[in-house]
Amino acid sequence: EDQVTQSPEALRLQEGESSSLNCSYTVSGLRGLFWYRQDPGKGPEFLFTLYSAGEEKEKERLKATLTKKESFLHITAPKPEDSATYLCAVPQGAQKLVFGQGTRLTINP
């Protein structure tokens, strides 16, 4: 069965302190890996799609990378407004997405 595991569950950083979030997956034939950001009380916001090992995508202070077994979301010099839950997901079956449990990121000023 396809599985997605995110770590850590929660991460607290000081403003400007760079770090990485991990998303490990086990799927038969990857058809994309998706990263979303979710703020409390809101729906997830699409960030990135990665399709093949070695691929990287960037958006502001975020950079997503992909290997054959996992993806990392690197956050460089984060600001308090980067605080959110970050979710990764992979397709399952014809249309569905399987989500990880998310990483709750808190950036302290």
| 95 near other proteins, judged by CB under 8 A | yes
* Residue ranges in 11-30 that form contacts with other proteins under rule CB under 8 A: none
Q: How far is the CB of 43 from other proteins (least distance, A)?
A: 4
CA atoms lying within 13 Å on the CB side of residue 85: 14
Among 1, 28, 29, 31, indicate the residue that binds other proteins (CB under 8 A): 31
Residues in CB range of 76: below 8 A, 6 or more apart:
18, 61, 62, 63
| 46 near other proteins, judged by CB under 8 A | yes
| 100 near other proteins, judged by CB under 8 A | yes
Q: What is the sign, positive or negative, of the torsion defined by CA atoms of 60, 63, 64, 70?
A: negative
